[in-house]
Amino acid sequence: MTEYANPGVSKNVRASEDAGQLTYNRFTFDFAASYAPATFTNASSDRIQVGEVPAGEVLVPHLCRMDIPELDTAGSPTGDYSLGIAGAAASLRASAASETPVVLTGEDFLVPATPIGARDVPTPIYLSAVAAHATIAATGVLVFEQVTRPYDVTIDG
């Protein structure tokens, strides 16, 4: 497995300060940057960290948004991806073709039975390859706009 991350993802991640507060964070992953992969091809194991739910928070998927550039630029694209967490690669979005740019909003995200987030540790959000990509664009920016709320022991576990 190869994991790629924007070094700035886990820096300055804002968390809620009040019990009922929603918090917005915007993460970007630039394929032209030095931390980006030259390839994103290894089916079911390559993943890109696109966000992070801070410790003590849970994700509010229906308020999130994700812009994904065209990831497979071959004349005959083969790539698929999923969006989720390390233990459940498709927990936010099951496999989708990557030959066109995609914008995911509200109802495009799955609402998992178990909330995404934890009381004591941050929870990374990944875009994972689930089918090999013929090639990858050397340009384009992934943008993940996430909304979180405080972790509530009585609701979340």
Number of domains present in the structure of the chain: 1
Give domain status of residue 123, yes or no.
yes
What's the mean pLDDT when you consider all of the chain? 83
Look up the domain containing 139 and give its range: 3-9+23-152
CATH number at residue 34: 2.60.120
- Over 80: is that where the pLDDT of 110 sits? yes
The pLDDT value given to residue 149:
94
The pLDDT value given to residue 143:
93
Tally of residues, the chain = 157
Give domain status of residue 53, yes or no.
yes
Give domain status of residue 17, yes or no.
no
| pTM as predicted | 0.86
> What's the CA angle centered on 84, arms 26 and 127, to 5 degrees?
70
Nearest to 122 by CA among 68, 54, 21, 33: 54
Give domain status of residue 16, yes or no.
no
- Which is more confident, 118 or 32? 118
Chain position carrying tokens 């039975």: 113
- Over 70: is that where the pLDDT of 43 sits? no
Cα Rg of the chain (Å, integer): 15
Q: What is the pLDDT of residues 70-109, one digit of tens each?
A: 877 777 777 778 889 988 888 898 776 677 788 889 888 8
